[in-house]
A and B are shown apart, each in its own frame.
Chain A
């Protein structure tokens, strides 16, 4: 497909489990972003990659959150020892430029931690 693809679309985890969320950006897009959206709120920035380099991880809420993009395309957001407050929609977005420009979002991965 031509858009940003995320998987799984839905994930239910028991508290304490580790989860991994995948993002396939639009082919050729240099920049990749992860956002977290709690119910009824706007998306909040988590982290940013330019190719394989993670240039900004200031939004990651704790050291249980880890993101990687080893080959500069697909990215994985990993959450260790999930907590109930991690329940949210995780959105991935990509952009074809390093700097400003239009950002395109995927459909998101909805995580529910029981």
Chain B
């Protein structure tokens, strides 16, 4: 099955810093989502982005499907950005399930 690798596994920032999270995947995808898992365990949808670039406030994401990677940019980080960020991808055929990476744990210190 498809492999999803996220980097870095852990990231510690000072408030106000910028960061880039990366997601590499091993096969063609027709679905890619970025999630933020908050301390209560809820998976919050950030972006549905199988290709192209999107922006939402301080967050933006780019997926280059032909090169099999996606990037999540966080600018001017805040302590509330802390948590685990997951990339999940889906491939054509079958149930279109999402396969998750292991996540990037982000800690933003005040």
Contact = CB atoms under 8 A, between A and B. Distances in A.
Contact of A44 (B50, B92, B100, B103): B100
Nearest to A48: B95
Contacts of A44: 100
B58 interface: no
Contacts of A42: 86, 88, 100-103
Contacts of B53: none
Interface residues of B, number: 25
Interface residues of A, number: 26
Nearest to A56: B95
Interface string A40-78: 011111001010000110010000000000000000000
A14 B90 CA distance: 36
Contacts of B86: 42-43
A110 interface: yes
A37 to B, nearest CB: 8
Interface in B12-55: 30-31, 33, 35, 40-43, 45, 48, 50
Given A41-B102, A100-B30, A102-B33, A48 B41 contact: no
B74 interface: no
B108 interface: no
A104 B46 CA distance: 11
Contacts of B31: 100-101, 103
A96 interface: no
Given A48-B97, A107-B41, 8 more contacts: A33-B97, A33-B98, A42-B103, A93-B98, A102-B45, A103-B33, A105-B43, A107-B42
Interface of B: 30-31, 33, 35, 40-43, 45, 48, 50, 86, 88, 90, 92, 94-103
Nearest 9 Cβ contacts at the A-B interface = A42-B100, A56-B95, A48-B95, A105-B43, A102-B48, A100-B31, A45-B97, A100-B30, A107-B42
